[in-house]
């Protein structure tokens, strides 16, 4: 999260040795003729440490924030400098400007303590358990950098099962950048998101903007139609009037004609809604005219041109020669695709060629991962279809072969195997975002 979150567990020094400050790079000297300008880059840290010590000592504090049953002694000037909310409270002629104790609502004591620790130390710990409360409190009291930090955390934590909740949170707090990121995530992972009922809680406007996208990841338009009808039926009395508004984002002309007749036109909600009849008529004319009608709903989506493929990786020939070629078969188009050969390892030379045997493979987010192997036991590579290349990633901590791989919650796992002398009962997890393995 850049400079918003301090990831180090080390505490800052509470004092600065002035004599050593130039050696530490904290004093920057700029000479100009007979003038010398010093820029003390360490002074801000010294002031921050000093203010935190004053707070802990309850020294020179001039206001007490009351949250639930706890009281927090603070400095008005520090709060006003960090928060637009407190700046408005203390710098204008409001009642709170003169009160010694101020009762705060809309936040619990634990979350308020996190906000104040951040204000005085610039450090905080964001977790999946507290991020929503911290975001809501930071937004309420206008700690804007904390809001940005929470938004960054949420954008990195996106999963099919939580993305709708994060989207609604971003919408509620006007986090436009985060909202756009989540919408793009839903568009690119639409089929996975549909496996979680949380999508039924999407607001109508967000659902429509999602379904309207050319990049919506679906293999057939029937998925989009069924999504709309499930969404309407979830709160039928409330959402039935919205059916024409939402259905116009479904590309009905692209549906299979038999599916259109037997499923769409036969649906009871469709038959009860005269306002959708023009959309049905457009689809009928498209089917009857031999696809000659062109409208915004007759344009195929990008991913409808894609299909699942089979990849045959590695192995040996009848005469026991290692196979470096990767075979890729597209059953939908009944064709064979050209794919990059298995990657070379760093140890390979013209005379010594390490072979990919007894390795494991798995797919995650349209990428193929291969790991381990008898002669490549620490190696891990992933295949990127968009550039048709194998990319080497972080090595395994424990070299292994004859092992298995699995995918769960956006991470790749290697399980068990053999290290050459004994069976391995350990497991490692790979985080694609940080490019690291952990046991």
Give the tens place of pLDDT for each residue, 197-214.
Answer: 999 999 999 999 999 998
Q: Which domain holds residue 334?
A: 307-438
How many angstroms separate the CA atoms of 191 and 206, rounded? 17
CATH number of the domain to which 418 belongs: 2.120.10.80
**What is the DSSP annotation of 101-133?**
EEE--SS-HHHHHHHHHHHHHS-----TTTHHH
Give yes or no: residues 298 and 326 share one domain.
no
pLDDT value, residue 66: 92
Whether residue 190 lies inside any domain: the answer is: no
CA quadruple 342, 344, 350, 351: dihedral positive or negative?
negative
Instruction: Check residue 346 and give its pLDDT.
Output: 47
253 and 332 part of one domain: no
pLDDT score of 177: 93
Query: How many of the other CB atoms lie within 10 Å of CB of 33?
Result: 5
Task: Identify whether residues 328 and 422 lie together within a single domain.
Answer: yes
Write down the pLDDT at residue 278: 93
Question: Phi first, then psi: what are they for 24, rounded to 5°?
Answer: -80, -5
Bridge pairing between strands 63-67 and 101-103: parallel
The span from the CA of 385 to the CA of 341, in Å, is 12
State which of 286, 304, 322 marks the end of a domain: 304
SS3 431: strand
In this structure, are 433 and 311 located in the same domain? yes
7 lies in the same domain as 123: yes
Domain-embedded: residue 167: no
- Does one domain contain both 292 and 339? no
Residue 134 maps to a domain:
no
Task: Kindly tell me the sign of the dihedral angle through the C-alpha atoms of 285, 286, 289, 293.
Answer: positive
The pLDDT of residue 161: 92
pLDDT of 208 reads: 94
Q: What is the pLDDT of residue 235?
A: 95
- Among 285, 304, 323, the domain-final residue is 304
| Cα–Cα–Cα angle for 306, 309, 312, rounded to 5 degrees | 155
Residue 17: what pLDDT?
43
- Which residue positions in the chain have pLDDT lower than 50? 1-25, 346-351
Same-domain status, 264 and 322: no
Instruction: Please report, for the domain that includes residue 69, its CATH number.
Output: 3.30.710.10
Q: Are residues 314 and 300 in the same domain?
A: no
pLDDT at 435: 84
62 three-class SS = coil
Q: Tell whether 311 and 254 lie within a shared domain.
A: no
- Helix (H) or strand (E) segment spanning residue 411: strand 411-415
Q: Which ranges of 255-326 would DSSP assign to H, the alpha helix?
A: 257-259, 268-271, 277-288
What is the domain count for the chain? Answer: 3
Is there a single domain that holds both residue 229 and residue 325? no
Q: What is the CATH number of the domain that holds 299?
A: 1.25.40
Asked whether residue 83 is domain-assigned, the answer is yes
Give, in order, the Cα–Cα distances in Å from 188 to each of 40, 135, 313, 414.
48, 26, 27, 26
pLDDT for the residue numbered 8: 36
Q: Which of 271, 304, 337 is the last residue of a domain?
A: 304
Q: Among residues 364, 361, 365, which one has the least CA distance to residue 379?
A: 361
The contacts of residue 17 (CB under 8 Å, 6+ apart) are none
Residues with Cβ within 8 Å of 310's Cβ and at least 6 positions away in sequence, in order, are 328, 329, 331
Question: In this structure, is residue 172 part of a structural domain?
Answer: no
Asked whether residue 165 is domain-assigned, the answer is no
Instruction: Classify residue 145: in a domain, yes or no.
Output: no
**Co-location of 313 and 298 in the same domain:** no
Alpha-carbon span 70 to 78, nearest angstrom: 20
Q: Are residues 311 and 434 in the same domain?
A: yes
């Amino acid at each position: 999260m850049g400079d918003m979150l301090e990831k180090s567990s080390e505490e800052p020094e509470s004092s600065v040795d002035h004599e050593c400050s130039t050696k530490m790079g904290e004093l920057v000297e700029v000479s100009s003729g007979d003038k010398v300008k010093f820029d003390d880059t360490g002074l801000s840290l010294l002031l921050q440490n000093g203010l935190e010590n004053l707070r802990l000592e309850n020294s020179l504090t001039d206001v007490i924030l009351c949250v639930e049953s706890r009281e927090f002694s603070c400095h008005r000037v520090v709060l006003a400098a960090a928060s637009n909310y407190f700046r408005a409270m203390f710098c204008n002629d409001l009642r709170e400007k003169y009160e010694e104790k101020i009762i705060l609502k809309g936040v619990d004591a634990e979350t308020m303590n996190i906000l104040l620790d951040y204000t005085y130390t610039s450090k905080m710990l964001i977790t999946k358990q507290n991020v929503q409360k911290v975001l809501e409190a930071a937004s309420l009291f206008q700690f804007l950098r904390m809001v940005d930090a929470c938004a960054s955390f949420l954008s990195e934590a996106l999963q099919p099962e939580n993305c709708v909740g994060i989207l609604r949170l971003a919408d509620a707090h006007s986090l436009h950048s985060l909202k756009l990121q989540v919408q793009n995530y839903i568009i690119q992972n639409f089929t996975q998101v549909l496996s979680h009922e949380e999508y039924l809680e999407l607001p109508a406007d967000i659902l429509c903007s999602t379904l309207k996208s050319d990049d919506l990841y679906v293999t057939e338009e029937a998925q989009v139609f069924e999504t709309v009808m499930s969404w309407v039926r979830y709160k039928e009395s409330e959402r039935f009037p919205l059916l024409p508004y939402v259905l116009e984002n479904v590309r009905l002309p692209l549906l299979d004609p038999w599916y259109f007749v037997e499923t769409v036109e036969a649906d009871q909600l469709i038959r009860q809604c005269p306002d959708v009849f023009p959309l049905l008529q457009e689809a009928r004319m498209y089917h009857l005219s031999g696809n000659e009608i062109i409208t915004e709903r007759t344009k195929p989506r990008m991913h409808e041109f894609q299909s699942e493929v089979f990849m045959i990786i590695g192995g040996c020939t009848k005469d026991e020669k290692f196979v470096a070629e990767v075979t890729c078969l597209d059953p939908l188009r009944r064709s064979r695709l050209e794919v990059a050969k298995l990657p070379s390892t760093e140890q390979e030379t013209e005379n010594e060629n390490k072979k990919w045997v007894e390795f494991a493979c798995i797919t995650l987010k349209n990428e193929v991962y291969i790991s381990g192997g008898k002669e490549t036991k620490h190696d891990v590579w992933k295949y990127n279809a968009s550039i048709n290349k194998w990319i080497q990633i972080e090595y395994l901590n424990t070299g292994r072969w004859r092992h298995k791989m699995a995918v769960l919650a956006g991470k790749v796992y290697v399980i068990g195997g053999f290290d050459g002398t004994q069976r391995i009962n350990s497991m490692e997890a790979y985080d694609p975002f940080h490019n690291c393995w952990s046991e």
